[in-house]
């Protein structure tokens, strides 16, 4: 709402940056003109309860100790900061460092947020958590935290995403979660969020909605950022230790924007550090088939927050497109919308093709298979590295950090298809190995928790079996 922010501008930490203050601890509910609570009244009491629980926990040494213990002894934090020397040769010679969130337990940054929120769920006496997932990483992380803390877990996942990320569906089921394929709308992340919200409004007494990104209604954007701030804090200390100075630039990929806001947090108040967010450009922003929300979207309200939004002239949400399920979202976290407007962070689109080139390059030069989401940040870092070193006598003076938000194990099939490594039956060319159906007791009944409609991935595999 246009006039809401002015009422809140005085206590908005983000605004203070413009007068030389701090951006990194913006508390919400508003980030400039973005954020807020565009939500049904039925859910306001639950949001109030969550906000209250979060604020108290944040100030409770016992909670912080519990979280820190889980981060260290369960997730494996701090995550490494790895210099990518051979990869750097392709980025104008700038020194590229990778913040290795891919090495966390469950394979991405998502674990940081779910452990925090699952602890809050326990504090609120909730026995059940629900989550949405795009690539499946947040669903896997949620199922993991739920198993660890003894909570029931239901994950909503677009049917199209279930197909793209069948391995993660199985992973969630192994962890004891129920996966509900969502067949509404575009069958991707935004529709999974819609169904999760419908579940939440119906079961709010015993259920916490474990939202996976720094978007949605207050307190989610500020709270999810808080749980990911550890990424930026570690990265800042690590780069100072390894290079003796702050980086010239920090790069991250943006879907909803949680990994990005986590690493940005460490550098927002360092004016010398350029910050870049890379959105999914899909087939190219000129084709209309993309998820470049900030680059081409317009302000609107969706899923509880005012932010940039891919929408048509009627305010209907436009379906986004990206090779990466985790970036395939037509909205973006409100803090990013604000950081874009004030010019603190530059947001640029990266096409599927650019991301996949960077994916392959990292595999070949560093022996690291990145998530396709994170590959957008890698592709962006190549551009930024070239840009910042142009005309430089010693390009190695330029230091760029990339948030490697996840590992690419889940993306092997997508990558194999992209690089034309599969034959018509989905087998790796020249072999008898199928990417779609690992060898195993295929005639065994499905696990009980799987709804019968959860079958897109399974039926694809069954078709393969028939052809064998």
Partner 1 sequence: MTVQPASKSAAAIDRARDAGRSALVCYLPAGYPDVQATIDAGIAMAENGADLIEIGIPYSDPVMDGPVIQAATTEAIANGFRVESVFDVVAGITAATDVAVLVMTYWNPVVRMGVDEFSRRLVEAGGAGLITPDLIPDEASEWFAASDKYGLDRVFLVAPSSTPERLAMTVKASRGFVYAVSIMGVTGTRQAVSSSAERLVADTHAAGAERVCVGLGVSNASHVREIAAYADGVIVGTALVAAIRDGGVPAVADLTRDLSTGLIREEA
Task: Catalogue the active-site residues.
Answer: 110, 132, 405
Does residue 59 interact with partner 1 by CB under 8 A? no
185: Cβ contacts below 8 Å, ≥ 6 apart:
191, 194, 319
Does residue 302 interact with partner 1 by CB under 8 A? yes
Does residue 10 interact with partner 1 by CB under 8 A? no
119: Cβ contacts below 8 Å, ≥ 6 apart:
57, 63, 66, 67, 70, 149
Q: Which is nearer to partner 1, 314 or 420 (CB)?
A: 314
| Least distance in angstroms from the C-beta of 38 to partner 1 | 6
Neighbours of 343 (CB within 10 A): 7
List the one residue from 21, 22, 45, 240 that touches partner 1 (CB under 8 A).
45
The DSSP call for residue 327 is: G
| Least distance in angstroms from the C-beta of 261 to partner 1 | 22
> How big, in percent rounded to 5, are the helix, strand and coil portions of the chain?
45, 20, 35
Does residue 44 interact with partner 1 by CB under 8 A? yes
Stretch touching partner 1 by CB under 8 A, among 38-46, 98-106, 255-263, 353-361: 38-46
In what helix (H) or strand (E) does residue 132 lie, and over which residues does it extend? strand 128-133
| Least distance in angstroms from the C-beta of 342 to partner 1 | 22
In what helix (H) or strand (E) does residue 278 lie, and over which residues does it extend? strand 274-284
How far apart are the C-alpha atoms of 419 and 356, rounded to whole Å?
A: 9
Stretch touching partner 1 by CB under 8 A, among 286-294, 315-323, 401-409, 415-423: 315-323
Does residue 315 interact with partner 1 by CB under 8 A? yes
Q: Which is nearer to partner 1, 68 or 206 (CB)?
A: 206
| Least distance in angstroms from the C-beta of 173 to partner 1 | 25
Q: Which is nearer to partner 1, 201 or 246 (CB)?
A: 201
> DSSP string spanning 147-161?
HHHT-EEEEEEEHHH
Contact 240, 81 (CB under 8 A): no
List the one residue from 300, 346, 360, 464 that touches partner 1 (CB under 8 A).
300
List the one residue from 14, 46, 172, 422 that touches partner 1 (CB under 8 A).
46
How far apart are the C-alpha atoms of 93 and 395, rounded to whole Å?
A: 5
Contact 270, 264 (CB under 8 A): no
> DSSP string spanning 167-182?
HHHHHHHHTTPEEEEE
Q: Count the residues of the shown chain that bind partner 1, applying the rule CB under 8 A.
A: 41
How far apart are the C-alpha atoms of 290 and 433, rounded to whole Å?
A: 32
| Least distance in angstroms from the C-beta of 235 to partner 1 | 35
List the one residue from 14, 26, 39, 115 that touches partner 1 (CB under 8 A).
39
Pattern of binders to partner 1 over 259-298, x per CB under 8 A? ---------------------------------------x
Q: By CB under 8 A, what part of segment 159-218 binds partner 1?
A: 184-185, 190-191, 194, 197-198, 201-205
346: tokens are 């530059």
How far apart are the C-alpha atoms of 37 and 28, rounded to whole Å?
A: 10
List the one residue from 10, 241, 286, 313 that touches partner 1 (CB under 8 A).
313
Which residues make up the interface to partner 1 (CB under 8 A)? 1-4, 36-46, 48, 184-185, 190-191, 194, 197-198, 201-205, 298-303, 309, 311, 313-317
């Amino acid at each position: 709402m246009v006039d809401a922010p002015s009422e809140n501008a005085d206590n908005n930490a983000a605004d203070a940056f413009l007068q030389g203050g701090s951006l990194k601890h913006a508390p919400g509910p508003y980030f400039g003109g973005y954020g807020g609570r565009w939500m049904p009244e039925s859910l306001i009491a639950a949001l109030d309860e969550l906000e209250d629980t979060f604020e108290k926990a944040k100030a409770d040494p016992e909670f912080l100790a519990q979280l820190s213990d889980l981060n260290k002894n369960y997730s494996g934090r701090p995550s490494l900061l790895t210099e990518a020397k051979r990869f750097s040769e392709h980025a104008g010679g700038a020194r590229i460092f990778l913040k290795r969130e891919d090495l966390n337990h469950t394979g991405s940054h998502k674990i940081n947020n779910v452990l925090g929120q699952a602890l809050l769920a326990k504090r609120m006496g909730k026995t059940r958590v629900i989550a949405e997932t795009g690539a499946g990483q947040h669903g896997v992380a949620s199922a993991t935290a739920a198993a660890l803390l003894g909570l029931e877990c239901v994950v909503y996942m677009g049917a199209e995403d279930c197909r793209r990320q069948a391995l993660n569906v199985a992973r969630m089921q192994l962890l004891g979660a129920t996966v509900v394929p969502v067949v509404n709308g575009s069958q991707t992340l935004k529709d999974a969020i819609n169904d999760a919200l419908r579940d939440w409004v119906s079961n709010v007494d015993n259920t916490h909605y474990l939202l996976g990104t720094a978007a949605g209604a207050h307190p989610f954007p500020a709270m999810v950022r808080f749980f990911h701030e550890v990424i930026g804090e570690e990265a800042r200390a690590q780069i100072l230790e390894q290079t003796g100075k702050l980086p010239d630039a920090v790069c991250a990929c943006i879907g909803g924007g949680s990994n990005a806001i986590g690493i940005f947090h460490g550098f927002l108040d360092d004016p010398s550090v350029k910050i870049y967010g890379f959105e999914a450009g899909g087939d190219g922003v000129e084709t209309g088939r993309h998820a470049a929300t900030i680059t081409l979207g317009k302000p609107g309200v969706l899923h509880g927050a005012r932010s940039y939004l891919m929408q048509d002239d009627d305010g209907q949400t436009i379906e986004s497109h990206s090779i990466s399920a985790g970036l395939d979202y037509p909205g973006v976290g409100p803090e990013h919308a604000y950081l874009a407007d004030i010019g603190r962070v530059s947001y640029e689109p990266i096409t599927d093709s650019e991301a996949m080139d960077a994916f392959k390059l990292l595999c070949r030069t560093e022996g690291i298979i990145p998530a396709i989401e994170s590959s957008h940040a890698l592709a962006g870092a190549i551009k930024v590295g070239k840009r910042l070193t142009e005309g430089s006598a010693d390009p190695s003076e330029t230091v760029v950090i990339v948030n490697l938000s996840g590992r690419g194990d889940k993306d092997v099939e997508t990558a194999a298809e992209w690089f034309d490594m599969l034959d018509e039956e989905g087998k790796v060319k020249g072999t008898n190995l199928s990417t779609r159906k690992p060898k195993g007791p295929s005639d065994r009944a499905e696990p009980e928790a799987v709804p019968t409609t959860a079958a897109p991935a399974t039926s694809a595999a069954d078709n393969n079996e028939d052809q064998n």
